[in-house]
Structure formats: structure tokens, C-alpha cells
Amino acid sequence: MSTTNNADRIFHAIADPTRRAILDRLRAGPVNAGTLADGFSQSRPAISKHVRVLRESQLVVETRIGRERFYEVNPIPLQTVAGWLEGYRAFWQVSLDRLKRNLEDK
Amino acid sequence: MSTTNNADRIFHAIADPTRRAILDRLRAGPVNAGTLADGFSQSRPAISKHVRVLRESQLVVETRIGRERFYEVNPIPLQTVAGWLEGYRAFWQVSLDRLKRNLEDK
DNA sequence: ATTTTATGTATCTAATTAGTTACATAATTG
DNA sequence: CAATTATGTAACTAATTAGATACATAAAAT
């Protein structure tokens, strides 16, 4: 995924349920890699790889303290998603009306 | 992707840039399959498959008229995404403060 | 009735991905 | 300094995916 733009990277990052779960866990506060992995049934390396994807999309920030690495959420990239959704919010009512009309026509 | 829940299906559906582009196109109003595909550089079957994924996630609704099939956006499932994001909105300010503090500590 | 048109499905392939176990590296501790 | 601990990376595998081309089906037009 080398020629991938920012938005793609972000949407891809949050597409995986484990990665969303990691973000949700980190929302409670920063934890080190080991503690984070303990909360999941997958192997530590598997979680490590998910965290890497999250870091590459900037959704997670790493802080190294000694040999430990703490991870925390950076919500900024989620604004990209929020912005995309926004384009549908305006559409919301109008489209529901149309959908309803279409369904009534049957 | 049989044992996939609703949210997973939705996040997965919007993860693909072509599928997001399809949704964005459909936001302008319903079109039939052929017209839709004409707007893309991929083959018609490729687009057809993307539309299927979008339909399975309920983001797109199909209406058959004669031999044509019209597609339109159903924004409702996007509420799932909006809801998930919402959990981060509250977190927004607090986490940015913390991030800022952490960065200042270096 | 035959041909054309609109569109989905089958099949196959190349690329990507999520997971695993084994290994490497760098701090800490005794 | 040797042993332990925290953690990422390498290598490999199985599953999933996006895309292409060829084919099937059904409606519409001649």
C-alpha cells in the first residue's frame, strides 16, 4: 500500500475490527505494547502489526520510555472520516425522502 | 466474510476508494449500472462487484426497471460510522491536550 | 423470432492481508 | 556481565480481495 493517499490509509486502518478495538482500548488512556496486547486474544506480534498500521495512518502515536513503548490515540485523522461523512449528512433527509417515495411507489 | 457483523461490513465497504467514489457519485442521484460504470476506468463487472458489496452493507439500494437497475445511496448505515466517531469527539479536546503536553515534555 | 442491449455471475490471477512462530535488539535487573 | 524482559521484525501461510475476460440471462427492439 505504497501509493496510498492519506484518506485511503485512514479508512483502511479503521476498517479492521481489531484495529478499531485497539483504538477503543487506547481511548481509555495510553498503555504500553504488552499491556495492550494482553487485552486481545491474538498474538503480541499480530497486535504489534496492527499498531503499526494505526501509526502509519497517524491514528496512534508512540512514546518510548526505556524499553517500553506507550501508545495513545491521536484523533485528528478521524476528522478526515468525519468530513467525508459530513457530505452525506446534508444528503440524509433529502435521500430518505426520496427512498421513502420510491418504496411507496411499489 | 460470512461471520461478519453489520459494523464490520459497513466499515469494510467504505474502506475501498472505488466504493467511496461510487457512493460519492450516487450522491448526485440514482443512475443505472451502465451509466455508473461509465464513470470509472475499471471494467463494468468490477464496478458491479463493488456495488454488490455496497448493497450487502445496505449503503446502496437497487431498483429494477425493465432490464435496467438503478442504484441509489441509503445513508442510514453511515450512522454506524458517525456513532463510532462520536465516541472520539468527546475525547478530541482532552486527548489533544494530553498529546500536546506529552510533546512539550520532550 | 432474432438480434441487440443491460447487466449479473463464473472463473482465474495477482496482490494484499491477518495471523503464526521464530528470531533480533535493546533496556533492566541480579 | 549474564539473564531476563519488552518489544519489533522476518519469514511463512491461509484467506480475502480487486480486477480482468468470458459467459449467462432477461428485457427490448427490429
Q: Could A96 and B76 be called an inter-chain contact, meaning their C-beta atoms sit closer than 8 Å?
A: yes
Q: How many Å apart are CA B60 and CA A9, to the nearest integer? A: 23
Q: What confidence score (pLDDT) does residue A102 get?
A: 65
Q: Residue B105 — very low, low, confident or very high, per pLDDT cuts 50/70/90? A: low
Report the pLDDT value the prediction gives residue B21, as an integer from 0 to 100.
Answer: 98
The mean pLDDT of A3-25, rounded to a whole number, is 95
What is the residue-averaged pLDDT of chain B?
A: 91
Query: Does the distance separating the beta carbons of A76 and B88 come in below 8 Å?
Result: no
| Cell 503480541 found at | A44
Mean pLDDT confidence for B27-43: 97
Q: Could you tell me the pLDDT band of residue A2, with boundaries at 50, 70 and 90?
A: low
In this predicted structure, the answer to whether residue A95 has a pLDDT above a threshold of 70 is no
Contacts of B81 (CB under 8 A, 6+ apart): A81, A85, B10, B11, B14
- Asked, for residue B34, whether it belongs to a domain, the answer is yes
Q: Is residue B56 part of a domain?
A: yes
Residues in chain A with CB shorter than 8 Å from the CB of B75 are 88, 91-92, 95-96
Interval A3-10 mean pLDDT: 90
Query: Domain for residue A23, yes or no?
Result: yes
Per-residue pLDDT tens over the stretch B59-100: 999 999 999 999 999 999 999 999 999 999 877 777 667 667
Residue A69 belongs to some domain of the structure:
yes
Q: Which of A101, A11, A84 is nearest to B72 (CA)?
A: A101
Nucleic acid strand D: bases within 7 A of protein CB: 5-11, 16-22, 26-28
The Cα B77–Cα A43 span in angstroms is 32
Task: Give yes or no for residue B101 having a pLDDT over 60.
Answer: yes
Distance in Å from C27's C1' to A51's CA comes to 21
CB B19 within 8 A of CB B53: yes
Q: What are phi and psi of A20, to 5 degrees?
A: -65, -40
In a domain, A28, yes or no: yes
The CATH code of the domain that includes A61 is 1.10.10.10
pLDDT of residue B99: 63
Range of the domain at B51: 6-75
Asked whether residue B61 is assigned to any structural domain, the reply reads yes
Q: Is residue B89 part of a domain?
A: no
In a domain, B62, yes or no: yes
Band (A90; pLDDT cuts 50, 70, 90): confident
Copy the grid coordinates of residue B68.
435496467
- Share the mean pLDDT of chain A: 91
